Amino acid sequence: MPLINALSIDTTTKICSVSLLKKGIYFNKSCVSLNKHTKYVLKIIDQLLIEAEITINDINLLAYNRGPGAFTGIRLGINIIQSIALVANIPKIGISTLMILAQRAWKNTGCSKILTAINVKNNDIYWTKYTRKKHGVWFGEKNEKITKFEKIINLLPKLKNSWIFTGNICEKFENHIRKKLRFISVNNFLPHAKDIIPLAIKKINFRKNATEVEKIHPIYLNNI
């Protein structure tokens, strides 16, 4: 496989983040922009291209957070990636927010068993159990689903060994989680573009599924 120069963006939360990989070196920028991602994301992309001393035509992989997350943020990220892909004919890969959170938690803790969960509305939770296997490949994406938090509480005590719990439900349920469950830690990590590129590269290496320009599958959930 040729050397990968990759560009990734994440606009699904209050943090607008962009990451660029050139010859094994990462260039990252982010800012807290709340509902003003449109104002900053293209500027950040240009800044990173200048910093890395390459052009968009040198990029051979695009990656993005496909959700769940803020509806307008998901659409913005997809529209930008789709536009670049169309103009420069670059393959792209979308990564689930839950997998990005798992990658971020693993980088911060070293734990390869991550339960990621996002609050949808009321006590509805979008979640899955991710485990990191050989060569850094994550398993669990196919099991992402919506479940009542009470059902999760009943299921999780059966988990063996040590797990990390991460996602924005930690803000709402952290005390309950710590009281009922034995986790190494409970952390509300936010997804970041710098964690997307390694996941996208793994998908290319092991699944051969860089998507064509017209094939985009965002994950939308109400009230996130």
Task: Judge whether 218 lies within some domain.
Answer: no
Task: Judge whether 36 lies within some domain.
Answer: yes
Cβ-Cβ contacts under 8 Å for 107 (sequence gap 6 or more)? 195
**Domain match, 26 and 88 both:** yes
Q: How confident is the model at residue 214 (pLDDT cuts 50, 70, 90)?
A: very low
**Domain match, 168 and 196 both:** no
> CA-based angle 63:56:88, to the nearest 5?
80
Task: Judge whether 177 lies within some domain.
Answer: yes
Of the listed ranges 72-81, 127-136, 141-150, 209-218, the least confidently predicted one is 209-218
State the pLDDT at residue 180: 58
**Domain match, 30 and 82 both:** yes
- What is the chain's alpha carbon radius of gyration, rounded to the nearest angstrom? 17
- Output 94 or 213, whichever has higher pLDDT: 94
State the pLDDT at residue 172: 67
**Domain match, 92 and 105 both:** no
**Domain match, 119 and 144 both:** yes
Specify the number of domains making up the chain.
2
Considering the entire predicted model, what is its pTM?
0.88
pLDDT tens figures, 67-95: 998 888 899 999 999 999 988 989 999 99
**Domain match, 196 and 92 both:** yes
Can you tell me which residue has the tokens 């990621």? 116
Task: Judge whether 131 lies within some domain.
Answer: yes
Task: Judge whether 219 lies within some domain.
Answer: no
Query: Does residue 8 carry a pLDDT above 70?
Result: yes
CATH number, domain with residue 89: 3.30.420.40
Range of the domain at 79: 6-96+191-207
Nearest-angstrom CA–CA distance, 170 and 114: 13
Q: How confident is the model at residue 212 (pLDDT cuts 50, 70, 90)?
A: very low
Nearest-angstrom CA–CA distance, 159 and 54: 47
Give the 3-state secondary structure of 78-139.
HHHHHHHHHHHCCCEEEEEHHHHHHHHHHHHHCCCEEEEEEEEECCEEEEEEEEECHHHCEE
On whether the CB atoms of residues 96 and 144 are closer than 8 A, the answer is yes
